[in-house]
Structures are given as C-alpha cells and as structure tokens.
C-alpha cells in the first residue's frame, strides 16, 4: 500500500511536470510564428530542413529521397541559388520512427530555425510530421506520403509531390483497358490484393471500373502481408483462367506472384501490378529479365522523360551517383521535383516564404520532372500516373498518348521461363 501510494505520487508529479512542459512548449510556439516568414537578409543561405529515414525499415528509400534533395540543392546552387540565396539542406535521421520524426521537425523549426521544410519518407511519418509543420504555418512539400490518411487531415499547407494519390495510381490501367475497342477488351478478370492501404485500394478501384464496364470478376483474393508462399493463390488464379490479372501489390509479393505464375506455366493476356513491376532494376533481377515482357505498372518519372528539367536531372544524377538512368529510384526524382517547385514559386513570385509557397501552389499547374502538378485543397494531387510496360527488357510509358514513348503490347507475350 505504502509503495503503491508512493508510485501514485510519483505519477502525479510526472503528469504535472509534463503539463508544465507542454504549456511552455505551446507558449514558445505561439511566439515563434516568425519562422514562417523569411527573417534572414536576402543573401543569407536558404536553409531547408527535412527528416530522412537513413536507418530502420525505410532506410533504402530514405537514402533515395536524400539523393534527390541533395542533387537538387547542388544543381540550384550551381545556378546561383534561389533568388540569389545558396540552398543548404539540413537533413536529420529519424530511424523510420514516427515519434522521432516529430522531434526532428520540432528541432528543425524551433531550434535550428530553418527557412523551409521538406517531407520525410512514407505516409506513416508524413502524417505526424505534417502536423508539426501545420502548427508553425510552414509549407509542407512532401515527395513520399501519398496514403489516404495524409489527405484525410485536410491540411492546406501540405502538397504531395507526385501526379496522384497512391490509391489512384492504377486508374490509368483501367483508363487504357476501357479505351480499347470492345472486342479487344478482356472479358474476365482476377484480382490478387495485398492487405495493405497502399496496395489493395489500387486494385479495388480498377475492379469497380471493370465491373461497371462488364468485365466479369472470376477470382478475387486478399492476402495478408506475411504471405510467403503464393502457390495456393496462384493455383486458384490458374484454375479461374482470367484474361486479365490485376495485382494490388507491393514489392516482394509482386515478384512472388510472377515467379509462381511462371512455375505454374500460366500467362494471362493482360497483367498489371500496382508496385514491384515499376522498379527498373529490382524487377528483372528478381523475376528474371526473360519474364518481364508485357507486364504493366504505373509510374511517374521514367528515363528519357521529356518533362521539365528531366534530362538535366538524369544527367546530373548519373554524374553524382554513377550507374545508368535505369538505376534511378523514382523516390529520388520525386524528391528532386519537390525542390523544383520551390524554384518555380520563387521565379514566379520573386518571394520565397512559406505563406507565398502555400498560396501559389494552390493555384495553377507547376512543371516538374514528374510532369505538371496541381493540387486540391487537401494536398492530394489532381493528375494521373503514366501506364508503363516492360518491352524488350525496359520500362516504357505507353499511355496516355501525350507522354507515351511506345504503343502498348497485348496480349502479353508468354513467359521466357
């Protein structure tokens, strides 16, 4: 009893201490809105802060984002900076943790007094981070948080720097299929969907459109993230014999689906995988280059794109990081585009403060390496992805016609084995 009493007292002290800290924090923040306006003289460096996952689960993608940010900063500085101000990127590691990301943005804004902030990697980290940015009225341009929860916050300072929200990335496949003459369209469809907010809804959106157009669903299966063995699922796909297979996939499950279909010797006439198949390097190494032909996916940036600054980005990336254009991760291109938007706002308005960025980006279309971008009030982009297809061992955009570099190949060629 004595002990529990003491514990209780300790608890009360802790709660009071916590409350005091929070109140002080709130006071500090209300007096700190000055961060939203550029306080430094016009030739002081433009300091942009961002939290990046350099360790933990998102480390690989986080590093790709970092390469994009750093490359943009180097490129813009080579041209004399933004409105004459040299850009300095202040990037801190969040270890892929949604709590660390909050402290990081609070430190960047309050302690380091950065001029602008860019987003972290993943929707998981973008949601809490964008709340911090909102509290201090910072514009929050983020290249990698496109899940429904990000837009459900209805933040007017948030801009997702990709052509469309993630769940709509597959709509372009439905657009293309439904643009085919009726006798060329598939009659039956199977859907294999990973139980994940970034995978399943993509396939479900396509299914809704297909069913409305009279394409019959012959098999639909949601599988959990732990699924390792796809033999049973794919055996059922084979038994259902669909014309088109739509996979709401991430990466490993996409590779496994393809490999299992090759083993089961079944090649559907059309095959779309929401993710995994859009990875130019990983996909052919994981499934074998001879098995990629005809598989479709969705993407925003691609090598050889004619979008604004894309050729320059491609060349600069290869110069800085080595490799070939095919090895460039889309996350790097999206991060680069985030910087391009800052440049574009500065060029158009002659100002570079958070309020100007927020009001400007809500109007009109903005050219980037991903194409022209525009946003709704909740920060969801209003464009669409490109339909990309594997042809002769390369990923090429095939639809819509405006950005296409080749015509779609169908029916899908058989597996190479």
Partner 1 sequence: MHALIQGVILGILTGGVYALMASGQTLIFGIMKVVNLAQGAMVIMAAYLSYQLFTTFGMDPFLAIPITTLLMFGLGVGVELLFLRPLRREDKSELSLLVTFAIALLIEGVLSVTWGTTYRSINTTYANSSWTLWGYQITVVRFWAFVLSLVALGLLFWLLNRTRFGRAVRATVQNPESARLLGVEAQWVSALGFGLGAATAAAAGSIYGLLYPFTPGSHYDLISRLLSIVVLGGLGSVGGAVIAAVIVSTSSAIVAATISPAWSEMTFFVILILVLLIRPQGLFGSVNRGAI
Instruction: Give contact residues for partner 1 (rule: CB under 8 A).
Output: 56-57, 59-60, 195, 221-224, 226-229, 231-233, 235-236, 238-239, 251-252, 255-256, 259, 262-265, 285-288, 291, 415, 417
As a whole number of angstroms, the distance between CA 192 and CA 154 comes to: 31
Single out the residue of 212, 205, 194, 210 nearest to residue 242, CA to CA: 210
Q: In whole angstroms, how close is the CB of 248 to partner 1 at the nearest point?
A: 14
Q: In whole angstroms, how close is the CB of 286 to partner 1 at the nearest point?
A: 6
Residue 406: phi, psi to the nearest 5? -155, 165
The residues facing 366 across adjacent strands are 373
For partner 1, the closer CB: 45 or 98: 98
Q: In whole angstroms, how close is the CB of 221 to partner 1 at the nearest point?
A: 6
For partner 1, the closer CB: 223 or 336: 223
For partner 1, the closer CB: 96 or 157: 96
As a whole number of angstroms, the distance between CA 123 and CA 143 comes to: 10
For partner 1, the closer CB: 222 or 409: 222
For partner 1, the closer CB: 151 or 219: 219
Of the CA atoms within 13 Å of residue 88, those in its CB half-sphere come to 11
Q: In whole angstroms, how close is the CB of 299 to partner 1 at the nearest point?
A: 20
The residues facing 162 across adjacent strands are none
Single out the residue of 197, 117, 198, 199 nearest to residue 159, CA to CA: 117
For partner 1, the closer CB: 54 or 202: 54
Q: In whole angstroms, how close is the CB of 101 to partner 1 at the nearest point?
A: 18
Non-local (6+) Cβ contacts of 48 within 8 A are 69, 73, 87, 88, 89, 90, 114, 115, 116, 117, 118, 342
Q: In whole angstroms, how close is the CB of 200 to partner 1 at the nearest point?
A: 12
Sign of torsion, CA 400 181 390 60? positive
């Amino acid at each position: 009893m004595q002990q529990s009493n003491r514990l209780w007292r300790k608890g009360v002290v802790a709660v009071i201490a916590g409350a005091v800290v929070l109140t002080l924090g709130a006071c500090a923040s209300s007096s700190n809105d000055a961060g939203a306006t550029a306080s430094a003289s016009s030739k002081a460096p433009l300091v942009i802060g961002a939290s990046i996952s350099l360790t933990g689960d998102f480390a690989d993608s986080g590093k790709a984002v970092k390469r994009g940010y750093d490359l943009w900063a180097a490129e813009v500085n080579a041209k004399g900076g933004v409105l004459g101000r040299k850009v300095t990127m202040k990037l801190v590691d969040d270890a892929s943790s949604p709590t660390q990301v909050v402290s990081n943005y609070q430190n960047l804004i309050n302690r380091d007094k950065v001029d602008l902030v860019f987003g972290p990697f993943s929707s998981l980290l973008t949601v809490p981070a964008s709340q911090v940015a909102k509290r201090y009225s910072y514009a929050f341009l983020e290249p990698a948080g496109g899940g429904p929860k990000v837009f459900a916050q209805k933040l007017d300072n948030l801009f997702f720097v990709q052509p469309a929200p993630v769940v709509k990335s597959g709509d372009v496949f439905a657009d293309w299929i439904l643009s085919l003459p009726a006798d060329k369209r598939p009659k039956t469809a199977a859907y294999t969907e990973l139980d994940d907010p970034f995978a399943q809804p993509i396939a479900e959106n396509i299914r809704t459109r297909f069913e409305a157009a009279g394409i019959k669903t012959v098999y639909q299966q949601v599988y959990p993230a732990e699924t390792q063995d796809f033999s049973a699922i794919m055996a059922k796909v084979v038994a259902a014999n669909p014309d088109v297979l739509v996979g709401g996939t991430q990466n490993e499950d996409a590779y496994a689906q393809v490999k299992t279909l090759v083993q089961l010797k079944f090649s559907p006439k059309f095959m779309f995988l929401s993710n995994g198949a859009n990875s130019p390097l990983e996909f052919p190494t994981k499934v074998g280059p001879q098995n990629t032909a005809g598989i479709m996916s969705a993407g925003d940036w691609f090598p050889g794109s004619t979008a604004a600054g894309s050729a320059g980005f491609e060349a600069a990336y290869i110069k800085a990081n080595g490799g070939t254009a095919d090895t460039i991760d889309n996350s790097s291109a999206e991060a680069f585009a985030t910087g391009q938007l800052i440049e574009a706002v500065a060029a158009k308005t002659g100002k570079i403060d958070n309020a100007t960025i927020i009001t400007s980006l809500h109007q009109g279309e903005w050219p980037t390496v991903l194409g022209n971008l525009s946003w709704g009030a909740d920060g969801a982009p209003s464009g669409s992805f490109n339909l990309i297809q594997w042809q002769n061992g390369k990923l090429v955009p095939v639809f819509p016609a405006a950005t296409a570099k080749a015509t779609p190949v169908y029916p899908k060629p058989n597996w190479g084995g």
